[in-house]
Amino acid sequence: MENRDMVRGGPPRHVHYEQEEWFFFLEGGEVIMEIGEQEIRLKPGDSVLASRKVPHVWAYIGEQPGRMLFVFTPAAKIESFFEETSKPDAKVMDPQRFEAHGMK
């Protein structure tokens, strides 16, 4: 999945029970990542892997829009999560939605 036109901020801390999540930061300012207890700063061209069952969170801190690729393996229920949350009336941060798609 490609996140284009990233603005400041990011998702809540979460964990995927079934997927590894790989982040590849393409362009923009900087991304602060926390994976488990480790804090990492990504600059364009950097990448990092968040293993399944390890809590993680990220925040984009650039002034200009950024761009990052996300790869989930295996895809499992994550595709349906993004399909559902892309709808105009979707409540993205709904804990029940996270649980239904293998996350917390």
Count CA within 13 A, CB hemisphere, residue 25: 25
DSSP 91: -
Q: Please state, in angstroms and rounded to a whole number, the distance separating the CA atoms of residues 39 and 57.
A: 10
If one compares 85 and 52, the residue with the highest pLDDT of the two is 52
Q: Please state, in angstroms and rounded to a whole number, the distance separating the CA atoms of residues 76 and 18.
A: 7
Q: What percent of the chain has pLDDT over 90?
A: 67
DSSP 11: P
Residue 93 has pLDDT above 80, yes or no: no
The pairs formed by 75-84 with CB atoms below 8 angstroms and a separation of 24 or more are 75/19, 76/18, 76/19, 76/102, 77/18, 77/101, 77/102, 78/16, 78/19, 78/102, 82/1
* pLDDT tens figures, 18-52: 999 999 999 999 999 999 999 999 999 999 999 99
Please tell me the class of the 2-76 domain.
mainly beta
If one compares 52 and 94, the residue with the highest pLDDT of the two is 52
pLDDT, position 28:
96
Of the candidates 12, 39, 10, 42, the residue with the CA atom closest to the CA atom of residue 28? 42
Of the candidates 33, 38, 35, the residue with the CA atom closest to the CA atom of residue 55? 35
